């Protein structure tokens, strides 16, 4: 069973070079590639070789014991990196010795903790480091975890002492002069009580053999069940345009031609770099590319696998304009196809305006490049806006009725506030003797298929539990489209009755600035309705962490570089949405009228004397056929 090993790092720490070194040492490649030379084994996409950065996560089978997943290191591509965390058995966190703990490293560490992934730390470029190793190690204890243990010399007595200090059971064994075994060390690593560390140089192949030995000796794959389950971590297309679903089998065995979620897995491919081999079956713990699935999405689970909810969220939405006057429907189809690979794009269209959500400037450039290269469409992304969301503070009862002549459907929904960051959830509490199961499933499908908009600003809704509590069909006149209309209207009707609030994206930031600039920085953060805490001090620089609204901090990196004369850096990741700090101002500036939005109406249509007639949202309950 292969150990799925993901390599993560701040950009330019040497992540791809380390992947290359491991593959070389394990005999997968005969010649080392270089990022600068655009010839590495895993950075195979045209845009990756053009830019010299990893854009898409890709796998390489090192041996039967190790499968590597190289991931993007740029903060704008965090969403792509984070999708791979759900399938990892172990992560190698790469740090640059001369740079120490960089800003994005501090955002990666809690992601690894949230995903509960055993982690090995490789301090790269040690040949370029001029300081003392002990000082560097101390900074890692302080900045990441004091459970880091240097595995450079595992034969020394001090190594066993350090290991035993991290776990009560091992402490007791050590004091009783009992042997601390490899299985003991495996356990504390698996429980994230110990983080092995090595100092080395990927470019010079320094400590790579030791790294491989530690991986194969002290780390092990997760346990798997006998029944089939799996999780999708990526969707892509091959050179011929075939849609590929990248999946980790997390239980049982997947065979070619098996049915997954009502679709057939026509072909199974096992990939390593640019090479792919067609296989008949894939066992638990292995990665596979499936041809034949049209509805799969990153994060989708089959069987008992649990979905990993990402923390990196796009903060800005942009209007997409075809410079070459390409038909808008063709542009929308191209973007829809790309969104299958990059779900964070959150593609939407309203009144012939297409908008997508992006993480930052680098992703903006990459999307423009991909659309031009793949689809031959030259686009411009403009009119960048903060991506707001809406939720509710109290429960409400939404009713949707759709009954023009020879049509009929009525839907009753309960909308309830859900925990912040939980998104939307859907369920039914209706007995099947009151509404047939096929109609209930159809209603739930309609709830999931649409991006429902709030009533304050027309922004997407989130953090709401929507429950089907009643519904009615007509034996003769009800068609599928009738329930779509009734469902959409019921959601909107419930939102009109509830107390809505506006949510704004919040940056989690990490700043490293000169000591002389701390006062100015803290003052600015307060003015921007944010907060900051000093976390570390090293060589005249202060590390601060905090949170701040995206709207006030959007271009602050430029200001910071200016007053610190280029010495200050800040890394920002949208990690949450919270109540908008200037809610009334934003609502007034957008001037959204929910009753004028005819595509998202809260009203209903009833029938009388053979003709349908509209009923405004605040009188629907009077006319409803189901009384609750």
**pLDDT score recorded for residue 277:** 92
Angle at 318 between CA 237 and CA 548, to 5 degrees: 110
Q: What is the band of 198 on the pLDDT scale with cuts at 50, 70, 90?
A: very high
As a three-state string, the secondary structure of 17-43 is HHHHHHHHHCCCCCCCCCCCCCCCCCC
Helix (H, G, I), strand (E, B) or coil at 141: helix
Let me know: does 94 contact 8? Beta carbons within 8 Å: yes
Give how far the C-alpha of residue 475 lies from the chain's centroid of Cα atoms, to the nearest Å: 44
pLDDT tens-digit readout, 224-254 = 989 999 999 999 988 888 999 999 999 999 9
Radius of gyration of the chain (CA): 27
Let me know: does 58 contact 42? Beta carbons within 8 Å: yes
Span 259-286, mean pLDDT? 91
Give me the DSSP letters along 431-497. Answer: -TTTS-HHHHHHHHHHHHHS--B-SSSSPBB-SEEEEEEEEEE-TTT--HHHHHHHHHHHHHHHHHH
Calculate what percentage of the chain has a pLDDT beyond 90: 65
What is the rounded CA–CA span in Å between residue 4 and residue 67?
5
pLDDT tens-digit readout, 531-545 = 999 988 878 999 899
More confident residue, 141 or 53: 141
Q: How far is CA 591 from CA 382, 571, 596, in A?
A: 21, 33, 11
Tokens of 233: 């971590």
**pLDDT score recorded for residue 579:** 96
Helix (H, G, I), strand (E, B) or coil at 16: helix
Lowest-confidence segment of 53-57, 328-332, 465-469 by average pLDDT: 53-57
**pLDDT score recorded for residue 577:** 93
> What is the CB neighbour count within 10 angstroms for residue 282?
24
**pLDDT score recorded for residue 35:** 63
Let me know: does 482 contact 407? Beta carbons within 8 Å: yes
**pLDDT score recorded for residue 261:** 84
Let me know: does 626 contact 412? Beta carbons within 8 Å: yes
Instruction: Answer yes or no: is pLDDT of 21 > 70.
Output: yes
Orientation angle between helical segments 182-190 and 157-164, nearest 10 degrees: 40
Instruction: Answer yes or no: is pLDDT of 50 > 80.
Output: no
Give exposure, 203-223, as e/b (b: 16+ Cβ within 10 Å).
beebbbeebbebbeebbbbbe
Closest CA to 514 of 538, 546, 545, 548: 538
Instruction: Answer yes or no: is pLDDT of 413 > 80.
Output: yes
More confident residue, 275 or 97: 97
More confident residue, 613 or 262: 613
Q: Look at the block and give the residue holding tokens 């890692």.
A: 140
Tokens of 424: 């939307």
**pLDDT score recorded for residue 79:** 86
**pLDDT score recorded for residue 36:** 59
- Give the global pTM: 0.80
Q: How far is CA 477 from CA 27, 185, 250, 433, 481, in A?
A: 67, 67, 45, 19, 11
Tokens of 6: 């993901």
Residues 6+ apart with CB under 8 A from 333: none
Going across the sheet that includes 611-615, the strands are 424-428, 464-473, 409-417, 396-402, 604-608, 611-615
Let me know: does 396 contact 498? Beta carbons within 8 Å: yes
What are the start-end ranges of the H helices in 103-181? 103-114, 133-143, 157-164, 168-175
**pLDDT score recorded for residue 49:** 65
Give the mean pLDDT of the chain.
Answer: 91
Instruction: Answer yes or no: is pLDDT of 32 > 70.
Output: yes
Closest CA to 410 of 467, 468, 496, 461: 468
Helix (H, G, I), strand (E, B) or coil at 111: helix
**pLDDT score recorded for residue 441:** 95
More confident residue, 193 or 2: 193
Instruction: Answer yes or no: is pLDDT of 185 > 80.
Output: yes
Q: How far is CA 35 from CA 9, 20, 275, 549, 587, in A?
A: 15, 9, 20, 36, 47
What is the rounded CA–CA span in Å between residue 97 and residue 116?
25
pLDDT tens-digit readout, 286-334 = 999 999 999 898 888 998 767 666 777 788 899 999 998 888 999 999 9
Instruction: Answer yes or no: is pLDDT of 157 > 90.
Output: no
Instruction: Answer yes or no: is pLDDT of 63 > 80.
Output: no
What is the rounded CA–CA span in Å between residue 193 and residue 143?
16
**CA contacts within 13 A on the Cβ side of 545:** 13
**pLDDT score recorded for residue 589:** 95
């Amino acid at each position: 069973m292969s150990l799925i090993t993901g390599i993560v790092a701040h950009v330019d720490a040497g992540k791809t070079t380390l992947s290359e070194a491991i593959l070389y040492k394990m005999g997968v490649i005969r010649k080392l590639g270089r990022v600068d030379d655009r010839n590495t084994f895993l950075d195979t996409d045209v845009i990756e070789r053009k830019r010299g950065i990893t854009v898409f996560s890709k796998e390489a089978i090192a041996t039967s014991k190790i499968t590597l997943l190289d991931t993007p290191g740029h903060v704008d591509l965090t969403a792509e990196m984070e999708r791979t965390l759900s399938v990892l058995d172990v992560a190698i966190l790469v740090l640059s010795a001369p740079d120490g703990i960089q800003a994005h490293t501090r955002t990666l560490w809690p992601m690894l903790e949230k995903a509960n992934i055993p982690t090995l730390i490789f301090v790269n470029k040690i040949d370029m480091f001029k300081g003392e190793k002990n000082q560097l190690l101390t900074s890692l204890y302080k900045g990441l975890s004091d459970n880091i243990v240097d595995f450079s010399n595992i034969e020394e007595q001090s190594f066993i002492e350090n290991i035993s200090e991290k776990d009560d059971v091992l402490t007791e064994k050590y004091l009783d002069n009992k042997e601390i075994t490899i299985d003991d060390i495996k356990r504390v690593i698996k429980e994230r009580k110990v983080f092995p560390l090595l100092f080395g140089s990927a470019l010079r192949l320094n400590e790579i053999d030791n790294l491989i030995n530690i991986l194969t000796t002290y780390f092990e794959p997760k346990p798997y069940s006998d029944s089939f389950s799996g999780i999708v971590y990526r969707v892509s297309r091959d050179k011929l345009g075939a849609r590929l679903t990248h999946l980790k089998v997390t239980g049982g065995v997947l065979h070619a031609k098996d049915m997954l979620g009502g679709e057939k897995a026509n072909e199974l491919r096992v990939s390593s770099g640019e090479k792919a081999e067609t296989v008949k079956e894939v066992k638990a713990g292995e990665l596979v590319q499936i041809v034949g699935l049209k509805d799969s999405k990153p994060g989708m689970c089959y069987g008992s696998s649990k979905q990993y909810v990402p923390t990196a969220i796009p903060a800005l939405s942009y209007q997409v304009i075809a410079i070459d006057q390409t038909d808008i429907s063709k542009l929308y189809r191209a973007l829809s196809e790309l969104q299958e690979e990059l779900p964070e794009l959150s593609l939407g269209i309203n009144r012939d305006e297409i908008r997508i959500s992006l993480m930052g400037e680098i992703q903006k450039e990459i999307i423009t490049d991909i659309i031009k290269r793949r689809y031959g469409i030259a686009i411009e992304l403009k009119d960048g806006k903060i991506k707001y969301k809406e939720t509710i503070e109290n429960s409400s009862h939404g009713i949707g009725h759709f009954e023009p002549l020879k049509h009929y459907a009525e839907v009753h929904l309960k909308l309830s506030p859900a925990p912040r960051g939980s998104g939307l959830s859907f369920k039914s509490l209706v007995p099947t003797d009151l509404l047939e199961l096929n109609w209930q499933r159809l209603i739930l499908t309609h709830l999931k298929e649409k991006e429902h908009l709030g009533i304050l600003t027309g922004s997407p809704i989130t953090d709401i539990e929507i429950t089907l509590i009643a519904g009615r069909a007509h034996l003769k006149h009800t068609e599928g489209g009738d329930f779509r209309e009734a469902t959409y209207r019921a959601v909107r009707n419930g939102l009109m009755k509830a107390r809505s609030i506006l949510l704004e994206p919040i940056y989690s930031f990490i700043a490293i600035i000169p000591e002389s600039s701390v006062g100015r920085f803290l003052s600015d953060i307060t003015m921007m309705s944010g907060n900051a805490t000093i976390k570390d001090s090293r060589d005249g620089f202060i590390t601060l962490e905090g949170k701040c609204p995206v709207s006030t901090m959007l271009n602050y990196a430029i200001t910071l570089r200016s007053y610190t004369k280029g010495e200050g850096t800040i890394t920002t990741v949208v990690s949450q949405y919270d109540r908008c700090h200037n809610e009334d101002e934003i609502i007034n500036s957008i001037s959204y009228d929910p009753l004028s939005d005819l595509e998202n109406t809260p009203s209903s249509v009833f029938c009388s004397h053979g003709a349908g007639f509209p009923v405004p949202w605040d009188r629907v309950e009077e006319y409803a056929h189901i009384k609750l």
